[in-house]
Amino acid sequence: MADKFLDKVYDTDPDRLTDLYDDWAGDYDGELIDNGYATPGRLARALASVAEDKNAPLLDFGCGTGLGGAALAAVGFRTLDGCDVSEGMLQEARMKGIYRNLWQTDESGRLPFNLSDYPLVAAIGVISTGAAPAEMLPYIARLMSPGALLAFSYNDHTLEDAAYMDALDSVTETASILFDAVGDHIPGLGSKSRVYVLEIG
């Protein structure tokens, strides 16, 4: 049987992505897990390998249903907050009971919290084609405090998109790359992703 949403996300009009994720929320975990979704665990382990304090506040940016938060908690991160544009996804995340705070954001980029309060930020599968636009990466980096760590992933589609690679280049003019590795993304689809951890300059 064809996947209900994985085969749609990259072809959906960006203006309708929040609706798509709202509709996907109830099936999201099952569909991704059935396809071996590997990026959350890879990114969580990468961040854990360079973070000095796993008790420090960590923002799961674009947390979705909390799959990423669960992976972060599994490697020892204890103070998790999350945000997402999709209320449907947030409803699923709340049920996992792993977040201290959860906020709904909107596509304008305005945030109901200060990113500078977080020494750790993770954006797992968020800044990519089929999700947040390329300019979200430098936007997040600008709002973070010097010395904070930003962990994120670029999937195959994103690595082939010049706008996203240009955004990465702009951020790494001042940020240091602490971790950079390619590995499985969604093995059921034969896809890879690149996981990065940056220290904000």
CATH code of the domain covering residue 154: 3.40.50.150
Write the CB contacts of 121 (distance below 8 Å, at least 6 apart in sequence): 58, 59, 61, 115, 140, 144, 148, 149, 150, 151
Q: Is residue 146 part of a domain?
A: yes
Domain of 174, in residue numbers:
9-108+115-199
pLDDT, position 2: 38
Signed CA dihedral, 175, 199, 193, 180: sign only: positive
pLDDT, position 25: 55
Amino acid making up residue 113: F
The segments of the chain whose pLDDT lies below 50 read 1-3, 5-6, 8-9, 11-13
Q: Is residue 3 part of a domain?
A: no
Q: Is residue 4 part of a domain?
A: no
Total structural domains in the chain?
1
pLDDT, position 131: 83
Q: Look up residue 143 and give its two tokens.
A: 């709002």
Question: Cα(169)–Cα(79) distance, rounded to whole angstroms?
Answer: 30
Q: Is residue 174 part of a domain?
A: yes
pLDDT, position 13: 47
Q: Is residue 1 part of a domain?
A: no
Q: Is residue 172 part of a domain?
A: yes
pLDDT, position 16: 56
Q: Is residue 20 part of a domain?
A: yes
